[in-house]
Amino acid sequence: MPLFGNTFSPKKTPPRKSASLSNLHNLDRSTREVELGLDYGTPTMNLAGQSLKFENGHWVAETGVSGGVDQREAQRLRRRNQQLEEENNLLQVKVEVLLDMVRTVLGSAARAWLWREAPPHVGPSSSPPPSARWPGNIESKDTKGNRAQSPPSSTRGRREGQ
């Protein structure tokens, strides 16, 4: 048992073997086709009576007509669909902005109305109960029964007598 040395010493790993022992990867395509008979061609598929082939990373109709619609027409329709979807998204954003503006205006108008107007009083008494007094009442009575004026509020945009 060594005092100052490392007790763990792994064995050396042997070198890896070559990736392929076959020389088939060195042959060109035509030689491989002749030697091995590997003539795959392009992948084709038949869907709903329409024959499709795989070219340049895309499935293309073999006959040039896709379900009675020309490819150029189909591409034009796809572009138009994309354009309409983008326009629809823009209009939805505009509607949301307008709705937010309406909510803001109505919210501030409702708050202003609530603080300026007293709630309706129900019952036979002519004076509202003390709990129904709102801070926005136009006039309030002081302790001696005299009427005291509340501080002036903004009356811009309001007609006289309202």
Its pTM stands at 0.33
Segments in 8-70 forming alpha helices (H): 29-36
d(CA 72, CA 62): 15
pLDDT per residue, tens digit, the chain (162 aa), is 556 666 777 888 888 776 666 776 677 777 777 777 766 678 888 888 788 888 888 888 876 554 566 778 888 999 999 999 999 999 999 999 999 999 999 888 888 887 776 555 555 555 555 555 555 545 545 555 555 455 555 555 555 554
Give me the half-sphere count of Cα atoms (radius 13 Å) on the Cβ side of residue 1: 0
The β-bridge partners of 54 are 59
d(CA 105, CA 119): 21
Residues 137, 118 contacting (CB under 8 angstroms): yes
E-assigned strand segments in the chain: 44-47, 50-55, 58-61, 65-66, 69-70, 139-141, 147-149
Could you tell me the two tokens for 73? 């027409």
